[in-house]
Amino acid sequence: MTQEMKDYLKSEFSKIEQEIIRPHEELFPSSISLDDFYWAFGMIRSRAFSRLSGQLAMLPLVDFINHSSKITEEDNAEEMNGPAGLFSFDLLFCLKSTVAVKEGEQVFIQYGLKKSNADLALYYGFVEPNSGRDAYTLTFSIPESDPFFRDKVGIAKANDHDETAYFDVSMDGGIPPEMLQYLRISAIQQSDAFLLEPTFKSTIWAVVKLPLSRSNEEIVCGMVLDACKSALSGYHTTIEEDEKLLEGGNLEEKHEIAVRVRLGEKRVLQQIERDFKERRLTLDELEYYHERRFKELGLVRETGEIYCQPKDSIPSA
């Protein structure tokens, strides 16, 4: 369990103590400690099924089923009506295998195709050797000092983000498109501020799927590179040092898992750095908003030259 999660759970436990446990001590004959709360959270987080009527369900025996990376589908649980006694029917849980299983073979399920190695380690205590599970969560914020703070945060909230946004970047998944959209909004300066006007607010999120301007895209690259540099500086070992630790084969299980997770995170961060350093070198080759808009209005010749009136009104030579 990470320190951040422990701090969150400690805060939640304090609220539950004050609002529920202490006012109703008669309902809790045995004392409940913070460690008990950690344990209960761990059990629910690692064993509960969540795709049943939109609720979490703890299912004894069923939660013993193990994970396999060979299972590539998550459709392993469903609800169905079935007999719940001699004369009654009820909603029952059905566990199913997504692959053929021979008699006597162990049944496996997929714990989550989108879970990173950090997620697998945190919730289940193992990692996969598959580099596709390596990931890092980048965090970005719109500063309150930004002169367009309210407008930018309003656009972010209208598109399921906020003043601070989190984006999971995996080794195989590439940069999430919404991360670039959020950063382009965050990076808008005075020269592109017209796009924050009410006229554009209903379309701005679609507009920033593509680069806005060279200056905006340069700021975006800088924000990502700064975030990667800051994150990498927080590790006390290098990739090479982690690789040597793993090659030695002398690590305890938990220590090895931790090293594999941080090694994967650093590899992802370095890949992001390489990608955005390369992107910064190609800024002059990108097509920006004004160029796209001129093309839409028919103000660009086949040679790429921009003129001031629609083609149809240009007299022939």
Handedness of CA 268, 270, 274, 277 (dihedral sign): positive
CB 239 within 8 A of CB 263: yes
Q: What would the two tokens of residue 41 be?
A: 């959270």
Largest CA distance in the chain: 96
CA distances (Å), 148 to each of 19, 41, 144, 204, in order? 40, 40, 9, 14
* Residue 184 CA, distance from chain mean position: 18
* Identity of the residue numbered 250: N
147 burial via Cβ count (<10 Å: 0-12, 13-18, 19+): exposed
Q: What would the two tokens of residue 81 be?
A: 């009506």
17 burial via Cβ count (<10 Å: 0-12, 13-18, 19+): middle
- Residue numbers annotated as active site: 111
Report d(CA 56, CA 79) in Å as an integer. Answer: 13
CB 138 within 8 A of CB 276: no
